[in-house]
Each structure stands twice: as C-alpha cells, then as structure tokens.
A and B are shown apart, each in its own frame.
Chain A
Amino acid sequence: MKNPQNLTDKLHAQGYVAHPDLAMALHLALTLGRPLLLEGAAGVGKTEIARALAAMLGTELLRLQCYEGLDAAQAIYEWNYQRQLLSIRAAVEDGESARQAESRIFSEDYLLERPLLAAIRRERPPVLLIDEIDRADEEFEAYLLEVLSDFQITIPELGTITATSRPHVILTANGTRDLSDALRRRCLYAYVDYPDRDTELAILTTRCPEIEAALGRQIVGFVQALRAEDLEKKPGIAEMLDFAAALGGLGVNDLGADPAALAAALATLLKTQSDRAAIPPEVAARLAGRAA
C-alpha cells in the first residue's frame, strides 16, 4: 500500500469515497504511524472513515466516545471489584492463603479492559476511533496525549503494559471546544468538508446502487442546492442517504413529478422547526425542478 491512490481504491471497495486530501492524510497516518485528527461539520463522514478503514485492513474497530466527565476508569481500565470480593469470600472458605488470593485477584482475569487498554493489547493493530475528542475535558486530553505518545499504560498492581501492536488512531472533533496545540501538533490533520457534486454522486451510487442514475443526479443536485440555502443545520451525507432511501421506499422515480412525496421525504433532510419553515413545499419543488 505504497500510494494514496491505491488506498482510495481500497476504501472505495468498502463503500467509502474519500477526498484526495483525506486519502493522503490517511495514507501518511498509516505509513508514519501517527494519529490522524479529523475536523468538519456533523454528517460529513468522519466516523464512517474509521469503520471503512477497519473493514479495509480486516481488523477490529475500537471506539471511545468522549463526553464531559470521561475519566481514566471509563477510558483505560478498571478492576472488577465485585468479582474480586466474591473471590476473596471463596478463598476464605477454601482456606487459601492471603498471598495466593492477592496474586490471583490482581491478575488479568479481574481486569476490565476499556478501549484505550484494549487497543494496545491486541495481536493485530486495531483501528482506535476517539470520537468527538472536543467533548472530553482538557485534563483527559492531556492524559490521552501521554498514552498516544508512549503507547504504554501503567497499572500499579500489574506493572507497565507496553503495546503489543500500535493501533491506528483516528480522532474526530467538530468544534465544541478548541483543542490544545499539543494535541494538534501530535496529529496529522485533515478537514473534511461537504463533498462536491461528483463525489456525492459517487457516494450515492456506491451506497445505494439500486437508485437510478437520473434520480441519483436529481437527489444530489437537490441536496447540494439545499446546502446553499440559509439553514440552521445543513443536511450531511447520512441525511442525503436517508433521503434517497426514503424516496426509494415511497417509490418516487422523478423528484419533480410528485411534490407530496418530496415534502414527506424532506423530514429526513430538515431537522429543525425553523428549517422546515424556511423551506416550504413550493420552495422544495422549485429546488427539485432546478436540480432535475
């Protein structure tokens, strides 16, 4: 896998159409072993790329969803205290010595792996997706940096665990909070934008091959026109695919022909009250007419 074009083709086989910028960043992340930071609006396929990459490499996808208050016990490891207590009870009844019991209950069997620990202990390097890193607290970000630079985790009772394989790390963010410079510098970077018309059409034909070519062009034209409108929440790629599926379900073959079905299917694209109000059925019909 020496060049990005090769990577683009392989991703395409997994149903992911990657922009050349993104393919290059991904190629470098894989060959240089660096984490890759992806930013972009919601619904442009940031999370999906990790899934496609894992499928392409034939490896596991480990996902760590970040949220405010995420701590080491949720992200790295925790001891299974209930099992340890039960085991101690049993040991007392069996007359096992304290030393034996202790070495047993602080063994791997009683360790609960969380995504970060799991990622560095796999035989095959997995894809580690750290989703929405900007939702986690800054302290966690600092801790994450440490793990990502050494790929080793110290558990006081067990000792230091070094990585058996270095996971392919993908971080995503969509601007809830500014990330630290340290994190940005450690990562390769790609900004994922809404796809252009041709790319989006390629995505649609890859994911929904049953959609006819003419309708596909209409759908993409319509969604692109909608993104140019002044909306609170612009429809992403996932919404576009839902829209296509909805039209398929409604048996629509031509966007311009059936305004009622179009208005019904709009529910998959416009998801706030004011956006619905901003695009009344007549406007939708006009946009659809222009897209045809």
Chain B
Amino acid sequence: MTRDLTLKRPSRATRFAARDPGPAARLAGFMAHLRGAGFHLGVAETGLAMDALTTLDDMAPETVCRALKAVCASDADQFARFDDMFNAFWLNNGRVRARLAQSRSTGTDRQRAGRTGDGMATGTGKAHAPDDGHDSGESESGGTGRLMATGVANLMRRDLRELVSPDDIRHAETLAARLGAAIRDRRSRRRRAARRGRGVDLRRTLRSALSTGGEPLHLHRRTRPDRPVKLVVLCDVSGSMLAYTRPYLAFITGLTRADPTADAYLFHTGLVRITTALHDDDPLRMLNRLSLLAEGVGGGSRIGANLDLFARSYARRFVNGRSVVVIFSDGYDSASPDQLGPALAQLKKRGCRIIWLNPLKGWRDYAPIAGGMAAALPHLDLFAPATTLADLARLEPELARL
C-alpha cells in the first residue's frame, strides 16, 4: 500500500503537493467519481483496487488505467466508458467537476449510443444545463395532430416536462403494471423440477430411489416454470405524433418503473435509448435527463432507418425470443418507407413478437395505406389503436391473448 500512485503527467491531485491527502484518499476520490457516473462500487472494490495497484511493476498511466478497469468495470458498457472516466479524473488538470456533471446528465446514454453505432445519438446534441429547456420560442412544430412528416430535425427543443407530469406518471404506473403483467405472465411449455408442482418427475424420482435402495421415498415434482417476457418499447416522438406523445411517454415511464427489466427507446430522426434515464430515482431529475435525451422531439421521423438501426444494434443485445417489442407510431415516415419492411423482418428473426400501436387506427375510415404502415403489416403480431391511457387499458385482454 505504500507505493506512490503519482502519475507522470501533471494531474489535479499532484499540483499542490503539500495538500496531497495520500494515495488511498486520491483513489477513494476516483471511486467516488466512478460512482457518480453509475458504477456500482463499494468499499471492498476500493480495497481491491489498492491491492491490484500493488501488484504492478510500473505506474504508467495506461497500465494503472487497465488495472483499475479490470477491477471497477463490471459490464461491456462500463468497460467502454472507463478510459474516458480515467483520463478525466487523473489527467485533465482540474476539469473533473464539469466532466462529472455532464456524465451525470446525458453522458452515459449518449456514449452508449455512440459506441453501438453512428447516427443513433444525433438527436441528443450537446449537453445543456438542465434549466434552459423552456425556450420553445416561435416553435416550428407547435401544431398538434399534424399529419405531414417533416424531414428536418427539430432544432427548437420541446420540453418533455411540459408533456409529462409526475401525476400522469403515477397514474400510468398502475396501468403499466397491469398491462405489463398481462404481457409478461407466460408459462413455459416445458417442465422443470420444482419443490411443489402438479406432476411427478419420474426420472428424478427413480434416480433418487436408487439412493434409497430402489424404494421411491422422495417424490420429486415438476412444474411449468414462469418465463417472464421482456418488454421493449419504441416510441415515435416526431411532429406528427406530438398530440399522443404525452400518454405514451407517461405509459413508458410508468412501465419502466413498474417493471425494471423493461427497455425503452425514443426515435424521431435519430434513435435514443432512454432506459437508464428512466431508472433515475428522482422523477424530476429523470424528466430533465429525458428532455436532454429527447432533443429534436416534434421534428420529422425516419421510422424505417431507425428500426433498421435498432434491429442491427440494440436488438442484438436486448431482444431475444422472450421479448415483446411494442412500437408506438403513426407510420408516417419522412424518408422512404422501403427500409421498414426488411427492418421488421430482421427484428422478427430474433424470435420476438411485435406489437404496433397506432393512434390513427382509432379513426373512422382509417386504412393503413401510409407507405410505412402497409409495409409493416405482414410482420406484426398485433396492430391496434391507442390514443389515450384509457385506450391502452382496454388493450389488456388482447395483449394477454397474444
């Protein structure tokens, strides 16, 4: 533990040598820095990090970085972000605070998106202070229920806080919990050994009968285990969907709060994963993070391109045969709809079920002739109308049957 952790280049910690609190304290500071960025680290990890550093021969920054990375990172995402975090803390000459604040608000989600593919994070822009979100000004997207798809990303940010209130979320939470349960509650067809169950597990019973001299003293049972379905929600927040964004976002927020395994995305001209932001404990801060992520709300939408991007990137990691993908969109694509059909076909190949909830379907005389919608239909397991939270509630029996 006596080894000096001083790095070669000047760092914040070593500029004032007299005030240096010692290597352990500096390392603890770094751990706090990581914790602030969402790493799950305890005291034990700090100790382990110290031990790891004592096994090293040289203290070159890249060596130290690698060692700490092996100890502190615990999934692919953290592993990819670690180098930046390390450089920001040890080598950036005092720019730590700014860096920390930024990564708190949007850094995590943006970097995650940036790593998985290009163009996904285009809608998020640069980080703003959380308070300057009200400048709607002369909005070019103020109209509600506009059916024209626009090709430009909306640069005037529309604040989601105007769209979603904590009350809505509370209401949506109960609904989402019920709907989520309706979709999720699936029994496997296969059977598995269990302490209590209907059937007798003959194979196991005979096997254990051997240990009691051929007398089946212990009856082993088996049951059909629950196979919870994972929900993945994609919500179109383009201009044409603006009128419906409010109930949908409330529903998504409620859903992720009711079911921690649910996964959520927004798309307009770009695609953003909002799951991590939605898991924020503080509802107000969550809305702030969401607003920053959803920059470009109310602009045009590129449904086909975004779903294609989703199928090729996130879906590989987060969608499998036990997923239900729910898409909230009106199907008005500002780009050509050619990509949509193949994208859904590819998504479908992952074995998931796809539900498309379209607000327009509730209209009288509505026919899914919007180019995008027509291309999508053959790949959908359920195509249903939904404009309000009440509509969503009415879907429960259909979702349960799926």
Contact = CB atoms under 8 A, between A and B. Distances in A.
A21 B74 contact: no
Contact of A190 (B48, B51, B79, B349): B79
Given A28-B52, A39-B75, A230-B312, A21 B57 contact: no
Interface string A227-264: 00010100000000000000000000000000000000
Interface string B46-87: 001001100111100011001101110111100110000000
B38 to A, nearest CB: 12
A31 B51 CA distance: 10
B380 interface: no
Nearest to B70: A25
Interface in A57-86: 69, 71, 79, 81-82, 84-85
A85 B213 contact: yes
A104 interface: no
Contacts of A21: 66, 69-70
A69 B75 contact: no
Interface in A18-76: 20-21, 24-25, 27-29, 31-32, 34, 37, 39-40, 69, 71
A2 B80 CA distance: 26
B75 A189 contact: yes
Contacts of A69: 192
Given A24-B66, A24-B70, A191 B210 contact: no
Contacts of B320: 176
A61 B74 CA distance: 25
B314 to A, nearest CB: 12
B80 A191 contact: yes
B55 A181 contact: no
Contacts of A280: none
Chain B CB count within 10 A is highest, among A21, A71, A176, for A21
Contacts of A209: none
Interface string B308-323: 0000100001001000
B67 A28 contact: yes
Contacts of A128: none
Contacts of A99: none
The B interface is mostly helix, strand or loop, or mixed, namely: helix
A181 B40 contact: yes
Given A32-B52, A85-B210, A3 B40 contact: no
B211 A189 contact: no
Nearest to B72: A189
Contact of A4 (B63, B210, B211, B213): B63
B259 interface: no
B57 A81 contact: no
Interface in B339-353: 346, 349
A173 to B, nearest CB: 10
Contacts of A85: 210, 213-214
A84 B213 CA distance: 9
Chain B: interface residue count, which band?
35 or more
B80 A185 contact: no
Interface residues of A, number: 36
Nearest to B308: A230
A189 B41 CA distance: 13
Contact of B63 (A24, A81, A230): A24
A184 interface: yes
Interface in B304-338: 312, 317, 320
A32 B213 contact: no
B45 interface: yes
A188 interface: yes
A25 B66 CA distance: 8
Contacts of A25: 66, 69-70
Contacts of A230: 312
Contacts of B69: 21, 24-25
B51 A32 contact: yes
B76 A191 contact: yes
B58 A3 contact: yes
B34 to A, nearest CB: 13
A28 B71 contact: yes
Contact of B74 (A28, A29, A184): A184
Nearest to B192: A69
A188 B76 contact: no
A40 B76 CA distance: 8
Contacts of A34: 48
Contacts of A4: 63, 66
Contacts of B58: 3
Interface in B230-250: none
A2 B55 contact: yes
B174 to A, nearest CB: 26
A175 B213 contact: no
Given A81-B210, A81-B211, A181-B40, A3 B67 contact: no
Contacts of B40: 181, 185
A84 B207 CA distance: 13
A21 B63 CA distance: 9
Given A24-B63, A69-B192, A31 B55 contact: yes
Nearest to B316: A175
A28 B55 contact: yes
A88 B213 contact: yes
B343 to A, nearest CB: 11
A206 to B, nearest CB: 22
Given A3-B58, A27-B55, A189-B70, 15 more contacts: A24-B66, A25-B69, A28-B70, A29-B70, A39-B75, A40-B76, A82-B210, A176-B320, A185-B40, A185-B42, A189-B73, A189-B75, A189-B79, A190-B79, A191-B73
Interface of B: 40, 42, 44-45, 48, 51-52, 55-58, 62-63, 66-67, 69-71, 73-76, 79-80, 192-193, 207, 210-211, 213-214, 312, 317, 320, 346, 349
22 contacts: A3-B56, A20-B66, A21-B66, A21-B70, A24-B70, A25-B66, A25-B70, A28-B52, A28-B70, A28-B71, A29-B70, A32-B51, A39-B75, A71-B193, A81-B207, A81-B211, A84-B211, A176-B320, A185-B45, A187-B74, A190-B70, A191-B76
Give the 10 A-B CB pairs with smallest separation, nearest first. A81-B210, A25-B70, A24-B66, A184-B74, A191-B79, A3-B57, A31-B55, A188-B70, A191-B76, A28-B52
